[in-house]
Structure 1
Amino acid sequence: MYTVLVVDDSPFIVDVFVTMLERGGYQAIAAYSGEEGLEVLKTVVPDLILLDIMMEPMDGWETLENIKINPRTRDIPVLMLTAKQLTPDEAEGYGSYIEDYILKPITHRELYDAIERVLKRRETIIRDVERAKEAGLDKNLVDEYARLAKGVDVNNRLLRILETTYNINDSRASEKISLAIRNMENSIRFQQSRLAQIKEDIEGLQKSQ
Protein backbone atom coordinates (compact mmCIF):
# COMPACT_ATOMS: atom_id res chain seq x y z
CA MET A 1 0.00 0.00 0.00
CA TYR A 2 1.36 3.40 -1.02
CA THR A 3 1.47 6.21 1.54
CA VAL A 4 0.44 9.71 0.44
CA LEU A 5 0.93 12.90 2.47
CA VAL A 6 -1.74 15.56 1.86
CA VAL A 7 -0.69 19.13 2.72
CA ASP A 8 -3.34 21.87 2.56
CA ASP A 9 -4.36 24.64 4.96
CA SER A 10 -8.06 23.94 4.38
CA PRO A 11 -9.24 21.15 6.72
CA PHE A 12 -12.21 20.53 4.42
CA ILE A 13 -9.97 20.02 1.36
CA VAL A 14 -7.63 17.77 3.34
CA ASP A 15 -10.55 15.64 4.50
CA VAL A 16 -11.85 15.36 0.93
CA PHE A 17 -8.50 14.17 -0.41
CA VAL A 18 -7.88 11.81 2.51
CA THR A 19 -11.28 10.20 1.89
CA MET A 20 -10.61 9.91 -1.85
CA LEU A 21 -7.20 8.36 -1.25
CA GLU A 22 -8.45 5.85 1.30
CA ARG A 23 -11.23 4.80 -1.07
CA GLY A 24 -8.56 4.22 -3.70
CA GLY A 25 -6.57 1.93 -1.43
CA TYR A 26 -3.88 4.41 -0.39
CA GLN A 27 -2.76 5.18 3.14
CA ALA A 28 -3.27 8.92 3.67
CA ILE A 29 -1.51 11.23 6.13
CA ALA A 30 -2.89 14.74 6.74
CA ALA A 31 -1.00 17.99 7.35
CA TYR A 32 -2.79 21.32 7.64
CA SER A 33 0.03 23.72 6.74
CA GLY A 34 3.39 23.77 5.02
CA GLU A 35 5.13 23.88 8.39
CA GLU A 36 3.15 20.88 9.66
CA GLY A 37 3.92 18.98 6.47
CA LEU A 38 7.66 19.53 6.99
CA GLU A 39 7.32 18.36 10.60
CA VAL A 40 5.59 15.15 9.45
CA LEU A 41 8.42 14.52 6.99
CA LYS A 42 10.92 14.46 9.85
CA THR A 43 9.52 11.09 10.95
CA VAL A 44 7.65 9.76 7.89
CA VAL A 45 8.83 9.28 4.31
CA PRO A 46 5.70 8.89 2.15
CA ASP A 47 5.68 7.48 -1.36
CA LEU A 48 4.16 10.69 -2.67
CA ILE A 49 3.09 14.19 -1.54
CA LEU A 50 0.00 16.14 -2.60
CA LEU A 51 0.91 19.77 -1.88
CA ASP A 52 -1.42 22.77 -2.12
CA ILE A 53 0.08 26.00 -3.46
CA MET A 54 -2.11 28.71 -1.91
CA MET A 55 -1.34 28.33 1.79
CA GLU A 56 -0.37 30.80 4.53
CA PRO A 57 2.02 31.75 5.98
CA MET A 58 4.26 29.29 4.10
CA ASP A 59 2.89 28.69 0.61
CA GLY A 60 3.27 25.53 -1.42
CA TRP A 61 6.24 26.70 -3.47
CA GLU A 62 8.23 27.58 -0.34
CA THR A 63 7.25 24.26 1.22
CA LEU A 64 8.36 22.50 -1.97
CA GLU A 65 11.76 24.20 -1.85
CA ASN A 66 12.25 23.03 1.74
CA ILE A 67 11.36 19.47 0.74
CA LYS A 68 13.80 19.47 -2.17
CA ILE A 69 16.81 20.92 -0.31
CA ASN A 70 16.58 18.18 2.32
CA PRO A 71 18.57 15.07 1.22
CA ARG A 72 16.14 12.87 3.17
CA THR A 73 13.03 14.09 1.34
CA ARG A 74 14.19 15.50 -2.00
CA ASP A 75 13.46 12.32 -3.95
CA ILE A 76 9.82 12.07 -2.81
CA PRO A 77 7.51 12.78 -5.78
CA VAL A 78 5.43 15.94 -5.27
CA LEU A 79 2.15 16.75 -7.03
CA MET A 80 1.06 20.37 -6.71
CA LEU A 81 -2.62 20.98 -5.96
CA THR A 82 -4.23 24.29 -6.85
CA ALA A 83 -7.27 26.11 -8.14
CA LYS A 84 -5.11 28.87 -9.68
CA GLN A 85 -3.67 29.04 -13.17
CA LEU A 86 -0.10 27.90 -13.74
CA THR A 87 2.17 30.72 -14.92
CA PRO A 88 5.13 30.33 -17.30
CA ASP A 89 7.48 31.56 -14.53
CA GLU A 90 6.22 28.83 -12.17
CA ALA A 91 6.56 26.17 -14.88
CA GLU A 92 10.13 27.26 -15.57
CA GLY A 93 11.12 27.80 -11.95
CA TYR A 94 9.63 24.68 -10.38
CA GLY A 95 9.22 22.22 -13.26
CA SER A 96 12.31 20.25 -12.24
CA TYR A 97 11.01 19.89 -8.67
CA ILE A 98 7.50 18.57 -9.28
CA GLU A 99 5.87 15.53 -10.84
CA ASP A 100 2.56 17.07 -11.87
CA TYR A 101 0.34 20.14 -11.46
CA ILE A 102 -3.24 19.19 -10.58
CA LEU A 103 -6.09 21.67 -10.92
CA LYS A 104 -8.86 21.49 -8.32
CA PRO A 105 -11.60 20.32 -8.33
CA ILE A 106 -10.56 16.83 -9.42
CA THR A 107 -12.47 13.57 -9.70
CA HIS A 108 -11.52 10.33 -7.96
CA ARG A 109 -10.45 8.79 -11.26
CA GLU A 110 -8.35 11.80 -12.30
CA LEU A 111 -6.57 11.75 -8.93
CA TYR A 112 -5.87 8.02 -9.06
CA ASP A 113 -4.67 8.26 -12.67
CA ALA A 114 -2.29 11.12 -11.79
CA ILE A 115 -0.83 9.24 -8.83
CA GLU A 116 -0.44 5.98 -10.73
CA ARG A 117 1.15 7.78 -13.69
CA VAL A 118 3.77 9.33 -11.40
CA LEU A 119 4.52 6.14 -9.48
CA LYS A 120 4.70 4.06 -12.68
CA ARG A 121 7.06 6.57 -14.31
CA ARG A 122 9.24 6.58 -11.19
CA GLU A 123 9.45 2.77 -11.15
CA THR A 124 10.24 2.66 -14.88
CA ILE A 125 13.07 5.19 -14.50
CA ILE A 126 14.53 3.29 -11.52
CA ARG A 127 14.44 0.06 -13.54
CA ASP A 128 16.03 1.71 -16.59
CA VAL A 129 18.74 3.31 -14.44
CA GLU A 130 19.64 -0.07 -12.96
CA ARG A 131 19.91 -1.58 -16.44
CA ALA A 132 22.09 1.32 -17.59
CA LYS A 133 24.40 0.87 -14.61
CA GLU A 134 24.64 -2.86 -15.27
CA ALA A 135 25.52 -2.10 -18.90
CA GLY A 136 28.40 0.05 -17.69
CA LEU A 137 27.07 3.44 -18.74
CA ASP A 138 28.97 6.39 -17.28
CA LYS A 139 27.44 7.55 -13.98
CA ASN A 140 27.04 11.13 -15.20
CA LEU A 141 25.09 9.88 -18.23
CA VAL A 142 22.94 7.67 -16.01
CA ASP A 143 22.10 10.67 -13.82
CA GLU A 144 21.35 12.78 -16.90
CA TYR A 145 19.08 10.06 -18.27
CA ALA A 146 17.10 9.92 -15.01
CA ARG A 147 16.65 13.71 -15.00
CA LEU A 148 15.60 13.85 -18.65
CA ALA A 149 13.26 10.85 -18.49
CA LYS A 150 11.28 12.58 -15.76
CA GLY A 151 11.78 16.13 -17.05
CA VAL A 152 10.49 15.54 -20.56
CA ASP A 153 7.29 13.95 -19.25
CA VAL A 154 6.65 16.65 -16.62
CA ASN A 155 7.48 19.54 -18.93
CA ASN A 156 5.20 18.22 -21.64
CA ARG A 157 2.41 18.06 -19.08
CA LEU A 158 3.10 21.63 -17.90
CA LEU A 159 3.28 22.85 -21.50
CA ARG A 160 -0.16 21.38 -22.26
CA ILE A 161 -1.56 23.18 -19.21
CA LEU A 162 -0.01 26.48 -20.31
CA GLU A 163 -1.27 26.08 -23.87
CA THR A 164 -4.76 25.43 -22.55
CA THR A 165 -4.58 28.41 -20.20
CA TYR A 166 -3.01 30.91 -22.59
CA ASN A 167 -3.85 30.89 -26.30
CA ILE A 168 -0.61 32.25 -27.79
CA ASN A 169 -2.37 32.86 -31.11
CA ASP A 170 -4.79 35.20 -29.34
CA SER A 171 -3.78 38.85 -29.73
CA ARG A 172 -4.65 39.35 -26.07
CA ALA A 173 -1.91 36.97 -24.93
CA SER A 174 1.08 38.97 -23.75
CA GLU A 175 4.30 38.83 -25.71
CA LYS A 176 6.13 37.67 -22.58
CA ILE A 177 3.80 34.67 -22.10
CA SER A 178 3.96 33.73 -25.79
CA LEU A 179 7.76 33.90 -25.74
CA ALA A 180 7.96 31.83 -22.53
CA ILE A 181 5.77 29.09 -24.01
CA ARG A 182 7.78 28.97 -27.24
CA ASN A 183 11.04 28.81 -25.28
CA MET A 184 9.61 25.91 -23.29
CA GLU A 185 8.69 24.11 -26.51
CA ASN A 186 12.26 24.52 -27.80
CA SER A 187 13.70 23.30 -24.50
CA ILE A 188 11.51 20.18 -24.57
CA ARG A 189 12.58 19.38 -28.14
CA PHE A 190 16.23 19.62 -27.09
CA GLN A 191 15.60 17.42 -24.05
CA GLN A 192 13.79 14.83 -26.15
CA SER A 193 16.66 14.71 -28.65
CA ARG A 194 19.24 14.30 -25.90
CA LEU A 195 17.15 11.62 -24.18
CA ALA A 196 16.87 9.64 -27.43
CA GLN A 197 20.65 9.85 -27.86
CA ILE A 198 21.32 8.48 -24.37
CA LYS A 199 18.79 5.67 -24.92
CA GLU A 200 20.71 4.69 -28.05
CA ASP A 201 23.94 4.60 -26.03
CA ILE A 202 22.30 2.34 -23.44
CA GLU A 203 20.91 -0.02 -26.09
CA GLY A 204 24.29 -0.11 -27.84
CA LEU A 205 26.08 -1.08 -24.64
CA GLN A 206 23.53 -3.78 -23.87
CA LYS A 207 23.84 -5.31 -27.34
CA SER A 208 27.63 -5.37 -27.13
CA GLN A 209 27.60 -7.41 -23.93
Structure 2
Amino acid sequence: MPTNALQKVVIVNGSTDTLGLVETALDAGHYDVVSVESSAHAYSQIKRVQPNLVILCVCIEDAAGFDVLSMLKLDEETRDIPVLTYTTQPEGHPTERDAPEPADAVLRSMPPALRMN
Protein backbone atom coordinates (compact mmCIF):
# COMPACT_ATOMS: atom_id res chain seq x y z
CA MET A 1 0.00 0.00 0.00
CA PRO A 2 1.46 3.41 -0.88
CA THR A 3 2.51 5.50 2.11
CA ASN A 4 0.32 8.39 0.97
CA ALA A 5 -2.88 6.29 0.90
CA LEU A 6 -5.67 7.72 3.01
CA GLN A 7 -6.65 5.81 6.13
CA LYS A 8 -10.26 4.61 5.89
CA VAL A 9 -12.63 5.38 8.78
CA VAL A 10 -16.27 4.31 9.09
CA ILE A 11 -18.45 6.43 11.40
CA VAL A 12 -21.74 4.97 12.65
CA ASN A 13 -24.25 7.35 14.23
CA GLY A 14 -27.99 7.92 13.82
CA SER A 15 -27.64 11.70 13.81
CA THR A 16 -26.79 13.35 10.50
CA ASP A 17 -25.57 16.40 12.45
CA THR A 18 -23.11 14.32 14.47
CA LEU A 19 -22.01 12.38 11.39
CA GLY A 20 -21.34 15.64 9.56
CA LEU A 21 -19.37 17.07 12.47
CA VAL A 22 -17.14 14.02 12.90
CA GLU A 23 -16.73 13.64 9.14
CA THR A 24 -15.62 17.28 8.82
CA ALA A 25 -13.05 16.83 11.59
CA LEU A 26 -11.66 13.67 9.99
CA ASP A 27 -11.67 15.09 6.46
CA ALA A 28 -9.43 17.88 7.76
CA GLY A 29 -7.02 15.16 8.88
CA HIS A 30 -7.06 13.67 5.38
CA TYR A 31 -8.98 10.48 6.18
CA ASP A 32 -11.22 8.63 3.74
CA VAL A 33 -14.51 8.75 5.67
CA VAL A 34 -17.61 6.61 5.16
CA SER A 35 -20.66 7.67 7.19
CA VAL A 36 -23.37 5.17 8.13
CA GLU A 37 -26.61 6.42 9.66
CA SER A 38 -28.24 3.08 10.50
CA SER A 39 -27.14 0.10 12.55
CA ALA A 40 -28.95 -2.08 10.00
CA HIS A 41 -26.40 -1.07 7.34
CA ALA A 42 -23.34 -0.65 9.56
CA TYR A 43 -22.04 -4.22 9.60
CA SER A 44 -22.34 -4.75 5.84
CA GLN A 45 -20.69 -1.40 5.08
CA ILE A 46 -17.82 -2.05 7.49
CA LYS A 47 -17.29 -5.54 6.07
CA ARG A 48 -17.29 -4.14 2.51
CA VAL A 49 -15.02 -1.14 3.21
CA GLN A 50 -12.58 -2.92 5.59
CA PRO A 51 -11.62 0.38 7.27
CA ASN A 52 -8.59 1.10 9.41
CA LEU A 53 -10.92 2.29 12.21
CA VAL A 54 -14.62 2.21 13.12
CA ILE A 55 -16.09 5.00 15.26
CA LEU A 56 -19.34 3.56 16.61
CA CYS A 57 -22.07 5.22 18.66
CA VAL A 58 -23.28 2.40 20.90
CA CYS A 59 -26.63 4.05 21.62
CA ILE A 60 -27.67 4.24 17.98
CA GLU A 61 -31.24 2.92 17.71
CA ASP A 62 -31.68 1.83 21.34
CA ALA A 63 -28.21 0.37 21.89
CA ALA A 64 -28.08 -1.51 18.57
CA GLY A 65 -24.46 -0.36 18.37
CA PHE A 66 -23.63 -3.19 20.78
CA ASP A 67 -25.08 -5.65 18.26
CA VAL A 68 -22.88 -4.18 15.53
CA LEU A 69 -19.84 -4.39 17.83
CA SER A 70 -20.57 -8.04 18.62
CA MET A 71 -20.95 -8.96 14.95
CA LEU A 72 -17.68 -7.22 14.08
CA LYS A 73 -15.70 -8.91 16.86
CA LEU A 74 -17.15 -12.37 16.13
CA ASP A 75 -16.42 -12.25 12.38
CA GLU A 76 -12.92 -13.38 11.35
CA GLU A 77 -12.89 -10.83 8.51
CA THR A 78 -13.63 -7.86 10.77
CA ARG A 79 -12.49 -8.78 14.29
CA ASP A 80 -9.09 -7.10 13.92
CA ILE A 81 -10.54 -3.74 12.83
CA PRO A 82 -10.13 -1.33 15.77
CA VAL A 83 -13.47 -0.05 17.08
CA LEU A 84 -13.78 3.12 19.13
CA THR A 85 -17.16 3.31 20.85
CA TYR A 86 -18.83 6.36 22.32
CA THR A 87 -22.19 7.71 23.30
CA THR A 88 -23.70 11.15 23.33
CA GLN A 89 -26.28 9.99 25.87
CA PRO A 90 -26.17 11.02 29.53
CA GLU A 91 -25.12 8.61 32.26
CA GLY A 92 -27.63 5.90 33.00
CA HIS A 93 -27.79 4.74 29.39
CA PRO A 94 -26.02 1.55 28.30
CA THR A 95 -22.24 1.74 28.54
CA GLU A 96 -19.27 -0.31 27.45
CA ARG A 97 -19.79 -2.50 30.55
CA ASP A 98 -23.04 -3.68 28.95
CA ALA A 99 -21.30 -4.76 25.75
CA PRO A 100 -21.09 -8.51 25.09
CA GLU A 101 -17.84 -7.92 23.18
CA PRO A 102 -15.26 -5.34 24.28
CA ALA A 103 -14.43 -2.34 22.14
CA ASP A 104 -10.82 -1.45 21.42
CA ALA A 105 -11.29 2.05 22.86
CA VAL A 106 -14.13 3.86 24.61
CA LEU A 107 -15.09 7.52 24.89
CA ARG A 108 -17.66 8.31 27.55
CA SER A 109 -19.02 11.13 25.39
CA MET A 110 -18.05 13.15 22.34
CA PRO A 111 -14.89 15.24 22.75
CA PRO A 112 -15.68 18.87 23.67
CA ALA A 113 -14.42 20.14 20.30
CA LEU A 114 -17.07 18.04 18.54
CA ARG A 115 -20.02 18.77 20.83
CA MET A 116 -22.84 20.79 19.35
CA ASN A 117 -23.83 22.58 22.60
- For Structure 1 versus Structure 2, the TM-score category normalised by the shorter chain is 0.7 to 0.9
2:75 to 49, 70, 73: 70
Structure 2 unpaired stretches of 5+: 1-5
Structure 1 unpaired stretches of 5+: 110-209
1:5-20 paired onto structure 2 within 5 Å: 5-20=10-25
Runs of 4+ in 1 over 2 A off after TM superposition: 83-87, 93-97
Q: Provide TM-score, normalisation by structure 2.
A: 0.77
Aligned to 1:40: 45
Larger-Rg structure: 1
Deviation at 1:104? 3.0
Question: Is the partner of 1:75 in helix, strand or coil?
Answer: coil
Q: Provide TM-score, normalisation by structure 1.
A: 0.45
- Does the CA-based 8 Å contact 1:33-1:55 persist in structure 2? yes
1:23 is the counterpart of 2:16: no
Q: 1:96 to 1:34 in 2, by over 3 A?
A: closer
Partner amino acid for 1:38?
A: Y
Aligned to 2:102: 97
- Does the CA-based 8 Å contact 1:34-1:60 persist in structure 2? yes
Deviation at 1:94? 3.9
Q: Which has the higher contact order (CA 8 A, sep 6+)?
A: 2
RMSD of aligned residue pairs (Cα, Å):
2.7
Question: Is the partner of 2:21 in helix, strand or coil?
Answer: helix
Q: Percent identity?
A: 24
Greater strand proportion:
2
- Does the CA-based 8 Å contact 2:39-2:64 persist in structure 1? yes
Q: Which whole-Å CA distance do the structure 1 matches of 2:24 and 2:51 have between them?
A: 17
1:106-125 paired onto structure 2 within 5 Å: 106-107=111-112
1:60 is the counterpart of 2:45: no
Greater helix proportion:
1
The number of residue pairs the alignment matches comes to 108
